[in-house]
A = this chain, B = another copy of it.
């Protein structure tokens, strides 16, 4: 069976590891672009569209962070929906970074919300705090869709819960990862990755090799690159034979036009140049 992680695997093989994060804040948009639009939803959608059009061939997957759109209310979510639909039109793989986590019928509703209809995405991020039963409502979708479950994040507070050491000496992150790895076995694709992947932050340098070898069936969504401190040279440890993970950058790409090296480029051309730069740096590190 070919699952969504197979498609991602093939994209990584062809186009590299870049996951472009569309965490679009109005403050990121250049003034001379803003002046062309007289409403929020058109402005945000068209900024995203320009970025997408300029990067289609150098990005393996787009991740849209819903919080930025929710913050703008109904208009923001209209822009979110249009962005997702445009990405599908362009046959791109879309990760909706929603980090939902709830139980029973409420989780059914989140699955319906983010795998179908106005907000349909290919893969969504999930928060497992309430337990593994919270994942079950997504299972019926996993032949075509996928989930990336928060496993080992890279923020400063990650130790508060994920880093708690249990009586058996495993951390909460490790326990979560091992449970996910086991549950994921029922959703394996032809490249030996499950439709259940993991969010593994890229500043966990010391633990990286252990995490990678433990969670061998799991494709990784790796945030924390660039602005958050993750470096290209560390990426090899997160990958399995150079594949099995995508590395997200959001601000680093959306705001590339503000960097000295790209100062003569339009925002979308700067974004493209930064994607290529990031892609090549990661490939070189392998």
Contact = CB atoms under 8 A, between A and B. Distances in A.
Interface of A: 23, 25, 65, 67-68, 70-74, 77-78, 81, 99-107, 109-110, 112-114, 117-119, 127-134, 150, 153, 155-162, 164-167, 172, 175-176, 179
A131 B102 contact: no
A155 B103 CA distance: 7
6 contacts: A71-B117, A127-B130, A128-B129, A130-B153, A132-B157, A166-B167
A28 B243 CA distance: 47
A110 B155 contact: no
Contacts of A103: 153, 155, 157
Contacts of A175: 161, 164
Given A67-B110, A73-B117, A106-B65, A157 B176 contact: no
Nearest to A133: B157
Contact of A119 (B70, B99, B107, B161): B70
Chief secondary structure at chain A's binding surface:
helix
A119 B172 contact: no
Contacts of A155: 103-104, 130-131, 133-134
Identical chains bound together, number: 2
B133 A150 contact: no
A251 to B, nearest CB: 9
A100 B99 contact: yes
Contacts of A130: 127, 150, 153, 155, 157-158, 161-162
Contact of A110 (B70, B102, B156, B161): B70
A81 B162 CA distance: 34
A67 B102 contact: yes
Given A23-B106, A129-B101, A73 B81 contact: yes
A161 B155 CA distance: 19
Contacts of A65: 106, 109
Contacts of A131: 153, 155-162
Contacts of A157: 103, 130-134
Contacts of A159: 131
A109 B106 CA distance: 23
Contacts of A113: 67, 70-73
B156 A164 contact: no
A276 to B, nearest CB: 25
Contacts of A23: 105-106
A255 to B, nearest CB: 12
